Structure 1
Amino acid sequence: MALNHGGRLIEASRRYGIAEDDWLDLSTGIAPWSYPVPEVPAHVWARLPETDDGLIAAAADYYRARADAITALPGSQFAIRELPRAISAHSGPGRVGVPAVGYAEHGRAWAMAGHEVVAYDDLPGLFTLVETLDHAVVISPNNPTGERADIESLCALAGELDRRNGLLLVDAAFADCNEGLATRTLPANALVLRSLGKFFGLAGLRLGFMIGRGRMAVAVAEQLQPWGVSHPARWIGRHALVDRAWQAAQQSRIDDAARSLTGLLNRYFSQQAVTPVGLFVSVFFDRDEQAGRVHTALAEQAIWTRLGDNGRWLRFGLPGDAPAAARLEAALNEIARRGLC
């Protein structure tokens, strides 16, 4: 069975009887401003991709990593699925620490590969468990909790796991909007996943990167089919990664929108934990079913949010312009009038 994620507007349209084009979709952590893709040359569509096209060099510069440690992927989800399988095939199943609240595909992938998944609540909790684990997953920043791991913590975790030939997987899909992650300083038993889809607003491109040089990085890369990343994706990705002027403007847009959204949500959910995480803001509720009621009330007004799997949090993506922000505020005002927030 597929896990629940953001998006899925077609399903929402059917459920609530609202036309797909009428929705304000705030359910994902994808930037509402996409990189302005230049016209793709005809030869990019006609020819098979090549690996010496400058994409890896651009990624190495952008992610501050060694070029020989970077593998381009058809989305970071590829490595999330393949890494647990590769480890099972290489050394057998083990005990894996995975965030109790976070991107749920991690736990699913490890469990399906035969590993014992051990949930942890936060990084201090992981440190208390790490001596009993073979491998661990850290999401930094975490989606939806916003927890971040600094480089010292990641190195310490990787060092402990290395004593048992274990691996640390760092999912840094949302790291563009924070302090970043200098992967050159991570140990060899750490793998880092990066995504082009979130910050650049190019989720449909399906382009991500795995950064690491250990045997498991090689094992995952070997699962790629020939020409596993399309030529257009590589071409567009290279242009986006080197466009520093656009990146600076994008960061400014995100910062401004995140501040405005955080302020708006704090006004309506002053009794809840409102957590800004760059490309989205999470609201954690202390009363059962309140998040679900707010989610439904917003959906009835054609505003789509992400309801947490445990029913205790909502994730709000950034409104892309002033009319979208005003529409959200009007909807929140209506549900406040009804006593739901």
Structure 2
Amino acid sequence: MKIYFDNAASTPLYPEVIDRMTEVLNNTYGNPSATHAFGRSAKSVIESSRKNIAQQFKAHPSELIFTSGGTEANNFILNGAVRYLNVEVIISSVIEHHSVFNTLKILQKEHSIILEYVKLTEKGEVCLDNLQVLLQKYIGKNILVSLMHINNEIGNILPLKEVATICKKYNAYFHSDTVQSVGHYPIDLQEIPIDFITASAHKFHGPKGIGFAFVRKGITLHSLITGGEQEKGLRAGTEAVHNIAGMEIAITKSYEQLEKNIVYLKYYKNKFITEIQKNFPDILLNGNSGELTKGAYTIVNIGFPSFKQRNDTLLFQLDLKGVACSKGSACQSGSVEKSHVLSAFLLAEQLQYPSLRFSFSVFNTEEEIDIFMTILREIAQS
């Protein structure tokens, strides 16, 4: 039996998504930039999807720019903020996704911006008091705050509305990588005064290779990719019509059954933690991943003090027995370095233990938990 506990990396597609994408691939093959009927039909699919996706966030359709995913969306916004909004100071954290963390390092080097990192608590939480101290320090400069909503490795949840309100108080732009929360948590962009968010469809049972950037109306950015005038001149290149249509179905279905999904996955995560603590009482729940209010209901990150294996060895042994999980971000799966997220707040002793991320979706079953515990006991005894 194959067990998939790596949904924070990518999720299985809803059957309805596959059906819709197949329909579009078969019937709507015209170039959406063409003026003939075939092109207009493809363009209609794109704009209908944009409208329906925007409605889920109470955004205006013109505020959504389709991208190849969260990485491109983050790059588009961060580069645009420095190049076209004259941002001089960026405040972020050392536990951001690498599409933000590495991009900021490059921008710091190439544009001589001031890059500040907000302090973290012993649980890896962003210290909001320190955020305000940093904002006060640079009053009078153009500031961008970039902090992710849900951490992709430990599931810590940033109080998005509170941070957005703080940023408005200091006239700072606020960007949040919401890749792990879109489709799993409601985000009301009328209620939350945030300037930029990003999404990737394969995190909420949609296709890979498609996502979007939200840019608040009134903020002017320019294309990161040059070429044609697609996406109102903000993203050159022929649109992946079938992927956009698939993302629309995925996000619509995710929010239609959100309440039911939340109930099931909170129960599932609690059961998983209860069973693993029963079998291995000394485990560590890294960050807020053991919680359901400060931590996402989809992610748990666990340290195993009693296991002698390294992360890679433990992952390999689990993989051989049909269990898929991860040691952190899938984007860094080939790296031999310790997790930059865990390294930012765990004690040196705790970093010596193997730590793994398990992430869940509505496709996971309770039977999988029982089978996984048997497998984990076998590995521990080997």
TM-score interval for Structure 1 and Structure 2 normalised by the shorter chain? 0.7 to 0.9
2:166 corresponds to 1:156:
yes
2:373 corresponds to 1:324:
no
- Displacement of 1:325 after TM fit? 2.5
Instruction: Identify if the C-alpha distance between structure 1 residues 131 and 283 changes in structure 2 by more than 3 Å, giving closer, same or farther.
Output: farther
2:305 corresponds to 1:310:
no
Q: Contact 1:140–1:146 (CA<8 Å) still a contact in 2?
A: no
Name structure 2 gaps, 5 residues minimum.
29-41, 121-125, 225-230, 291-295, 329-336, 340-350
Aligned to 1:17: none
Q: In structure 2, the residue corresponding to 1:201 is in which secondary structure?
A: coil
2:57 corresponds to 1:67:
no
User: Which of 85, 92, 101 lines up with 1:107 in the alignment?
Assistant: 101
Aligned to 1:35: 14
Aligned to 1:215: 219
Q: Aligned partner of 1:71: which letter? A: L
User: Which of 280, 291, 310 lines up with 2:299 in the alignment?
Assistant: 280
- Displacement of 1:28 after TM fit? 3.9
- Displacement of 1:179 after TM fit? 5.2
2:50 corresponds to 1:55:
yes
Q: Aligned partner of 2:116: which letter? A: V
- Equivalences for 1:72-91 in 2 at 5 Å? 72-74=65-67, 75-91=69-85
Instruction: Identify if the C-alpha distance between structure 1 residues 52 and 105 changes in structure 2 by more than 3 Å, giving closer, same or farther.
Output: closer
Cα deviation, 1:146-176, whole Å, max 9, x if unaligned, reads 322321232103432x2xxx42111222225
What is the rounded CA distance, in whole Å, between the counterparts of 2:250 and 2:137 in structure 1?
A: 44
- Displacement of 1:118 after TM fit? 3.5
Q: In structure 1, the residue corresponding to 2:47 is in which secondary structure?
A: coil
What is the rounded CA distance, in whole Å, between the counterparts of 2:338 and 2:104 in structure 1?
A: 20
Q: Contact 1:55–1:235 (CA<8 Å) still a contact in 2?
A: no
| Moved segments of 4+, more than 6 Å | 285-289
What is the rounded CA distance, in whole Å, between the counterparts of 1:102 and 1:91 in structure 2?
A: 22
Q: In structure 2, the residue corresponding to 1:149 is in which secondary structure?
A: coil
User: Which of 138, 145, 149 lines up with 2:154 in the alignment?
Assistant: 145
What is the rounded CA distance, in whole Å, between the counterparts of 1:100 and 1:285 in structure 2?
A: 24
- Displacement of 1:80 after TM fit? 0.8
Q: Aligned partner of 1:328: which letter? A: F
What is the rounded CA distance, in whole Å, between the counterparts of 1:306 and 1:83 in structure 2?
A: 28
2:272 corresponds to 1:261:
yes
Instruction: Identify if the C-alpha distance between structure 1 residues 84 and 55 changes in structure 2 by more than 3 Å, giving closer, same or farther.
Output: closer
Give the CA RMSD over aligned residues: 3.6
Instruction: Identify if the C-alpha distance between structure 1 residues 300 and 31 changes in structure 2 by more than 3 Å, giving closer, same or farther.
Output: closer
2:203 corresponds to 1:202:
no
Q: In structure 2, the residue corresponding to 1:52 is in which secondary structure?
A: helix
How many pairs does the alignment contain? 309
Aligned to 1:13: none
Q: Aligned partner of 1:154: which letter? A: A
- Displacement of 1:240 after TM fit? 4.6
Q: In structure 1, the residue corresponding to 2:234 is in which secondary structure?
A: coil
Aligned to 1:181: 187
Instruction: Identify if the C-alpha distance between structure 1 residues 239 and 217 changes in structure 2 by more than 3 Å, giving closer, same or farther.
Output: same
User: Which of 225, 246, 251 lines up with 2:262 in the alignment?
Assistant: 251
Comparing 329-338 with 242-251, greater Cα deviation is found at 242-251
Q: In structure 2, the residue corresponding to 1:330 is in which secondary structure?
A: helix
Query: Taking structure 1 as the reference length, what is the TM-score of the superposition?
Result: 0.73
Aligned to 2:346: none
What is the rounded CA distance, in whole Å, between the counterparts of 2:253 and 2:213 in structure 1?
A: 15
Name structure 1 gaps, 5 residues minimum.
1-21
Instruction: Identify if the C-alpha distance between structure 1 residues 337 and 41 changes in structure 2 by more than 3 Å, giving closer, same or farther.
Output: closer
